Structure 1
Amino acid sequence: MNAISPLTENVAPPGLKGLIVADTEVGSVRGDEGWYHYRGWNAAALARKHSFEAVAHLLLNGALPDSATEETFRAELAAARQLTSEAVELVAALARTDLPPMSILRSVLGVEVDPRPTLDLEPNERRSAVMRAIGITPTVLGAVSRIRSGAEPLGPDESLSHSADYLRMTLGETPLPEHARAVETYLCLTADHGFNASTFTARVITSTGTDVAGALGGALAALAGPLHGGAPGRVLDMLHAIGHPDNAVPWIAAELEAGRKIMGFGHAVYRADDPRSETLKAVAIELGGELVERALDIESRILAYLAEWKPDAVIVTNVEYYAGVVLHLAGLPQEAFTPTFTTSRIVGWGAHLLEQAANNKIIRPSARYTGHLHNGD
């Protein structure tokens, strides 16, 4: 058996970390600066000042809308939230199985979104398919949550904003304005974030020329992973497990000794404060309460311990830490945290899908074989 000589050129770093694989006008992350943007606009500032509809319009259409354009877009998105009768029946049936909500959404996208390959669609047809997918996402995920709680699902209310209607369809009642705005801020902050795992997945699948639902379905599968979109719920578990802030350091020390990851801390890109976390921290403080005070105290103790534990590393609080707190305070059950992330990130996937399809080249990298060759046939 002969070992294959390793390649010495054109070898990507593990996980493709830091490797530029495409050009994009959708946005990017400058981790060393603690800053990220949507089409050149400071994303954290957008989240503080604008509606989800305005942010979605920017990502999908390339420009911030004026008030009239935003209202037109809001109406288009509201209409897209309506499910067909066939889809309503499908959601009701699947919600009574053991399928995860993301898997149910993948199934519904397959029957509600234009099934033709993106390669065969005109740009306006691709956009319509993406808008349809974005629209039905909160309706499907809200219905699944309601059915599994033993309640009847609610249809969309086109008079409400996308974020407020998502909360209403999930919780069963029109949310308090401060809760709707808190969730809207979260949705704006997480609509896109560079070439993360799910976004890259969407672009790779789109590059094959397949249908919109297929590309978004792959992105959904990636987001469902606990190392990507599943962390906010685990942060809440951590806060409950720690309890009093005095327990923070012993708890973290035991987790690190056992080799387990600490959810809510550290990021693959940021080497300065995560602006999403900083913005959600401000939102949490505005909402107030015992959980917020405890989370603030626990955060400071964990950061101090991590700085001593690994003094040469820059470990920051990431978006999941305060996302779990904010979503909980807005009334969302823990099992709805990743679906809420999905309701937001599907906009970014859609923007990248449209960009990839508009100037497409199939993404086909190579792999380095590290096994052995065997003599003989």
Structure 2
Amino acid sequence: MRTVDRSDSTLIDVPRGLANVVVAETAIGDVRGHEGFYHYRGVPALDLAAGGSFETAWQLVLTGATTDQSFATRAARARALPSALDAAVGEIAVRTRSADPLAGLQAILPLIGAADGIRPLYDRDDDAAIDDAVRLGASVPTAVAALFRAARRETPIAPDPTLGHVEDYLRMLTGRRPHERHVAALSAYMTAAIEHGFNASTFTTRVIASTGADLFSCAVGGIAALGGPLHGGAPIRALEALDEIGEPAAADSWVRDAIDSGRRIMGFGHAVYRTEDPRARLLRRIAVELRRDGLAGPRVDLAVAVERSVLAALAELKPGRELHTNVEFYAAVVMEACGVPRELFGATFAAARVVGWSAHALEQSRDPKIIRPAARYTGTASR
């Protein structure tokens, strides 16, 4: 890192991608990559994912508490979309049918915010901002399910406030009550995905929040960042790789060919973890247990075989790189087993991560300093 004095300011060169650069302080969570551990406000995230409800983790991340038993009821009552948007849901679904479903979600969220009269964070006190965050987090799964069904000329299903958050999401997607084990599996994944440090989408959300924008606009920016294949778009590509491999016997040759040709193998390697991604470990166990009990198909067997081949090949051909299985690999397998269509993997990720985005946006909005870095000009010299 070097600094350069200029008459008006001092420029500070930092690593590409802001790697290891601290840009803010947060009390929401922490990722300790060399330990393979992360937490939400001091509570191990995987403990919440393995043994608690999504609503419990949601409340913790957003408010710092888990003792308000009315939070789940409050969130459930906030799921329904404004009735004035019924026609808009169908129109957006048709127009974005061939695009990533995240595009439909980006289009509908500002309309929900406008219909609800959501105000800029600059004009909201903490209580009102938390109300907005609950509304946002509750409405995203409903919007995802409604857009998905409308795109298929199926009638969207109204939310049922007597059901849990994740169970109702699966019911609104499929039109039937899901198996309790599938609810638990998807809940574990979504809980584990709520928050994970200053990743690209979270940082994007905080940049927008620093301008004082409304919470729904912050989430739209997070969704845009999440859509990239290097961030939230990886699970579907991991599943496509399993499709291409086809059977366990073909795994080793496919993996070595991919490495030799320089192709990126989605689902392996992480920007922070230098150990196995703890979320991958949790989701692998869940996938294997679902397969053992007849609640998942042979895709799980293929995934386990491919993972074994990839790790062995990476250790041999790229020694010292510390490339391990990451969350996207088994997230794809678990979501597919639970009945989530692969085109909705990114949107389901967004339905979980929006909780973390909201908490970060509220935290950032309390800082009056707008995020405004500088760039070093390297183009043609001015005349």
Q: Does the pair score TM above 0.5?
A: yes
Counterpart position of 1:312: 320
Does residue 103 (structure 1) correspond to residue 103 (structure 2)? The answer is: yes
Q: Map of 1:64-75 to 2, 5 A cutoff?
A: 65-66=66-67, 69-70=68-69, 72-75=70-73
Counterpart position of 1:61: 63
Q: CA deviation at 1:273?
A: 1.2
**Partner SS state of residue 373, structure 1:** coil
**Partner SS state of residue 81, structure 1:** coil
Distance 1:290 1:40 in 2: 37
Distance 2:148 2:262 in 1: 34
What is the letter of the counterpart of residue 247 of structure 1?
Answer: A
Counterpart position of 1:263: 266
Distance 2:234 2:316 in 1: 24
| Aligned mate of 1:251, from 250, 254, 265 | 254
**Partner SS state of residue 170, structure 1:** helix
Counterpart position of 2:149: 146
Task: Report if the CA contact (8 A) 2:3-2:13 is conserved.
Answer: no
| Aligned mate of 2:309, from 294, 301, 312 | 301
Counterpart position of 2:80: 82
**Between 199-208 and 79-88, the greater mean CA deviation after superposition:** 79-88
Kindly provide the CA deviation profile for residues 115-146 of structure 1, in whole angstroms up to 9, marking residues without a partner as x.
Answer: 42211111111111111111110011001111
Does residue 124 (structure 1) correspond to residue 124 (structure 2)? The answer is: no
**Between 238-247 and 183-192, the greater mean CA deviation after superposition:** 238-247
| Aligned mate of 1:21, from 17, 20, 23 | 23
Task: Report if the CA contact (8 A) 1:117-1:211 is conserved.
Answer: yes
Q: Map of 1:198-237 to 2, 5 A cutoff?
A: 198-237=201-240
Counterpart position of 2:8: none
Distance 1:17 1:333 in 2: 34
What is the letter of the counterpart of residue 38 of structure 1?
Answer: Y
Kindly provide the CA deviation profile for residues 303-330 of structure 1, in whole angstroms up to 9, marking residues without a partner as x.
Answer: 0001111102100100001000000111
What is the letter of the counterpart of residue 265 of structure 2?
Answer: I
Counterpart position of 2:54: 52
CA RMSD of aligned residues (A): 1.6
Q: CA deviation at 1:7?
A: 4.8
Give the structure-2-normalised TM-score: 0.92
**Partner SS state of residue 96, structure 1:** helix
Task: Report if the CA contact (8 A) 2:255-2:309 is conserved.
Answer: no
Task: Report if the CA contact (8 A) 1:116-1:211 is conserved.
Answer: yes
Q: CA deviation at 1:372?
A: 3.7
Give identity over the alignment, percent. Answer: 44
Q: CA deviation at 1:78?
A: 0.7
Structure 2: gaps of 5 or more residues: 6-10, 292-296
Task: Report if the CA contact (8 A) 1:57-1:73 is conserved.
Answer: yes
**Partner SS state of residue 12, structure 2:** coil
Q: CA deviation at 1:171?
A: 1.0
**Between 128-137 and 93-102, the greater mean CA deviation after superposition:** 93-102
Q: CA deviation at 1:369?
A: 2.1
Give the structure-1-normalised TM-score: 0.94
Give the 4+ runs in structure 1 shifted more than 3 A.
5-9
Q: CA deviation at 1:250?
A: 2.0
Task: Report if the CA contact (8 A) 1:80-1:135 is conserved.
Answer: yes
Counterpart position of 1:94: 92
Task: Report if the CA contact (8 A) 1:12-1:19 is conserved.
Answer: yes
Counterpart position of 2:344: 336
Counterpart position of 1:170: 173
Q: CA deviation at 1:6?
A: 9.3
What is the letter of the counterpart of residue 308 of structure 1?
Answer: E
Does residue 158 (structure 1) correspond to residue 158 (structure 2)? The answer is: no
**Between 333-342 and 92-101, the greater mean CA deviation after superposition:** 92-101
Kindly provide the CA deviation profile for residues 270-293 of structure 1, in whole angstroms up to 9, marking residues without a partner as x.
Answer: 001111000001110110142212
| Aligned mate of 2:43, from 21, 41, 44 | 41
What is the letter of the counterpart of residue 20 of structure 1?
Answer: V
Distance 2:167 2:181 in 1: 10
Distance 2:300 2:84 in 1: 43
Q: CA deviation at 1:295?
A: 1.1
Task: Report if the CA contact (8 A) 2:31-2:197 is conserved.
Answer: yes
Q: Map of 1:173-188 to 2, 5 A cutoff?
A: 173-188=176-191
**Between 114-123 and 36-45, the greater mean CA deviation after superposition:** 114-123
Structure 1: gaps of 5 or more residues: none
Q: CA deviation at 1:50?
A: 0.7
Distance 1:243 1:51 in 2: 35
Q: Map of 1:282-293 to 2, 5 A cutoff?
A: 282-288=285-291, 289-293=297-301
Task: Report if the CA contact (8 A) 1:106-1:213 is conserved.
Answer: no
**Between 87-96 and 154-163, the greater mean CA deviation after superposition:** 87-96
What is the letter of the counterpart of residue 111 of structure 1?
Answer: L
